[in-house]
Amino acid sequence: MANLISVKRLPSKGNVGDVYFDNVNKEFYIALADGTLFALAGLLGLQPVPAVGPKGEQGGVGASGPQGPAGKDGRDSTVPGPRGDSITGPKGKDGLPGPAGKDGKDGKDSTVAGPQGPQGPAGPRGEKGERGDIAVIGDAELQAAVTFYKHRHTAVQAALLAEIAKSKSLPKSTQLHVQNTLNRIKREAGL
């Protein structure tokens, strides 16, 4: 459970989830996963700034004294003595090989395909097959089909306009417009 703690000096680390109120600056701080304190106002404003507490004074170096005598009952002291120097000795000889392991059981055949071998010589040419269902149309054939359908469409359009032009119920301006369009279509289609 998180706690609300009022302090005059912020600690350098806090308990995860605890909220600290700085009495001096009148600000709230929260301890996140690694114990780092962040100002709540910065987190809410999407500008998190860690608040590092004041650094404590550095302690002095303790003096090491001589090792004391053994205890009254002859046992060694429980107080640790000064740290000794580390000495690395020469490398030892390799050990003897151990006994041979047991033979393994017969394994299953591999299901992974091996590499592909070289290509063999070409065989004799086979007979010519039946004609296929798919027709491959070249550019020239496609262009001819487009031209054919353009002319056909133009002829149908010209026939419709000719029938409309024959109508006596149309105003003269509309009849003139239809006749001009019909003449232009015939001229462009070469009819």
- Going by pLDDT thresholds of 50, 70 and 90, the confidence category of residue 11 is confident
> Pick the residue with more confidence: 52 or 110?
110
Alpha-carbon distance of 54 to 36, in angstroms, equals 13
Predicted pLDDT of residue 39: 84
Question: Encoding tokens for residue 73?
Answer: 């009952």
**How far apart are the C-alpha atoms of 181 and 161, rounded to whole Å?**
8
* pLDDT score, position 57: 53
Count the Cβ atoms, other than its own, within 10 Å of residue 10.
Answer: 20
The predicted structure's pLDDT at residue 112:
83
- Residue pLDDT, tens place only, 99-155: 776 776 777 777 888 888 888 898 899 898 888 777 778 888 889 888 888 888 888
The predicted structure's pLDDT at residue 60: 63
pTM: 0.28
For residue range 20-51, list pLDDT tens digits in order. 899 988 888 888 888 888 887 777 766 666 66
pLDDT in tens, 166-175: 777 888 888 8
Residue with more model confidence, 77 or 7: 7
Task: Report the pLDDT averaged over residues 76-84.
Answer: 68
Strands (E), 23-92: 27-31, 37-39, 50-51
The helix/strand/coil state of 144 is helix
Q: Does residue 70 surpass a pLDDT of 60?
A: no
